[in-house]
Amino acid sequence: MAEEWAKRRELELSAPGALLTAKWKQVTFREAIERYIHEFAQDAGRSKRATIEQLLRFPIAEVEVTHLNSESVIEHAVMRRNMGIRPSTINQDIIWIGIILRTARAAWKMPAQIDDFEGAKLLLRSKGLIGRPESRTRRPSGSEIEKLRAYFRRSQQIRPTAILPMEDIMDFAIASARRREEITRLLWSDLDVEHNTCWVRDAKHPRKKVGNHKRFKLGHEAMAIIRRQPKVEGEDRIFPFQPASVGTRWRTACAACGIEDLRFHDLRHEATSRLFEAGYEIVEVQQFTLHESWDVLKRYTHLRPEELALR
């Protein structure tokens, strides 16, 4: 019996890829996720890292990498759908599962079943379980902005030294088209007062983020907001605050004012749309927003006919 088992085992190990499969047997997808986070996601943004780490909570994390096939991926997507999760959010799960599997195969020689994964992804897309997010068109109304402005002023009066200058931050976001993470990274030393420009360091980019420094144009209103910011000794940032704190204050203010479904990032949509309504051309708007193409820029453009001036 021992000789028979040895011969059978020898035949199994002589099959293509069998030695690798044996090496990684009992290694779970959880271990692959954790290794990916440690080796490749140290500088990932907060939202990306949260999406990756969320996979650790689901049954797919306990599947052995050598057994993670199309059935495992489809089961994960169906489970998420049954939890009431939207196809665009499930799609983010599937994207990161694919990235981790491809990394495991290329970097660590794990025998990940990439072809099986791709087949599952095609099926999920054809059945509508995964898909791209719908284009967001939300812009704050004038009355919503005034409600928020009044709320921030009241907060500032109650605790003038302990509260973020959220009115200025909100108005600057609308005037400059900058994201909250970018606003809190702007430096006095990067500001060119003579030409109304400033550098944004590590600007968001799908492939290149670190070292992606870009100069952008500032309008008169944005410059006025910058000029009234106090300079803090030993601090080069114009708005020396944490982006997470800005987000928390924003959500609290919207809830207190009864404003639904308004994100801080929607202010970037508002800023972009206002630039077009003011009469700027596409290439001019790009100097403010730093969008690299019209295909991307138009997703932030939601014009109101009543705001367009006749020429």
Task: Write out pLDDT tens, residues 245-267.
Answer: 999 999 999 999 999 999 999 99
pTM of the model: 0.70
The pLDDT of 220-238, averaged and rounded, is: 95
Q: What is the share, in percent, of the chain residues with pLDDT greater than 70?
A: 88
Higher pLDDT residue, 5 or 172? Answer: 172
The whole-chain average pLDDT of the chain stands at 87
CA distance 7 to 13: 10
Higher per-residue confidence, 214 vs 205: 214
| Contacts of range 67-70, beta carbons closer than 8 Å, 24 or more positions apart | 68/29, 68/101, 68/112, 68/113, 68/117, 69/113, 69/116, 69/117, 69/120, 70/113, 70/116, 70/117, 70/119, 70/120, 70/123
Domain 142-307: give its CATH architecture: Orthogonal Bundle (1.10)
DSSP code at position 264: T
User: Cα separation of 289 and 272, whole Å?
Assistant: 7
SS3 content of the chain, % helix, strand, coil (to 5): 60, 5, 35
Residue 35 makes CB contacts below 8 A (sequence gap 6+) with 104, 108
pLDDT tens, 49-90?
899 999 999 999 999 998 899 999 999 999 999 999 999 999
**Binning pLDDT at 50, 70 and 90, where does residue 19 land?**
very low
Q: Please name which of 260, 263, 282, 264 lies closest in space to residue 272, comparing C-alpha atoms.
A: 282
CA-CA-CA-CA torsion for 107, 108, 111, 113, nearest 10 degrees?
Answer: -40
* 194 pLDDT higher than 70: yes
pLDDT band for position 151 (cuts 50, 70, 90): very high
Domain locations along the chain: 16-126, 142-307
For residue 18, is pLDDT > 50?
no
Is 292 a residue whose pLDDT tops 90? Answer: no
Q: What is the pLDDT, as a whole number, of residue 148? A: 96
Query: Which whole number is the average pLDDT over 180-209?
Result: 86
pLDDT higher at 166 or 160: 166
294: pLDDT confidence band, cut at 50, 70 and 90?
A: confident
Cα separation of 275 and 143, whole Å? Answer: 20
C-alpha 205/C-alpha 47 separation (Å) is 14
Fill in the amino acid letter for 37.
I
SS3 197: strand
CA–CA distance from 227 to each of 12, 168, 172, 194, 305 (Å)?
73, 11, 11, 13, 33
The yes-or-no answer to whether 16-126 and 142-307 have a common fold is no
DSSP 58-110: SGGGGSBGGG--HHHHHHHHHHHHHTT--HHHHHHHHHHHHHHHHHHHHHH--
Under the banding of pLDDT at 50, 70 and 90, the label for residue 48 is confident
| pLDDT for 10 | 63
Residue type, position 215, single letter = R
pLDDT confidence band for 152 (50 / 70 / 90): very high
pLDDT score at 4 = 73
* Class level of CATH domain 16-126: mainly alpha
Selected residue with higher pLDDT from 287 and 294: 287
Average pLDDT over residues 198-206: 78
> Positive or negative CA dihedral for 210, 215, 217, 218?
positive
Average pLDDT rounded to a whole number, residues 18-23: 49
Whether pLDDT at 27 is above 70:
yes
Helices (H), 159-297: 166-176, 180-183, 220-227, 243-256, 266-277, 282-289, 294-297
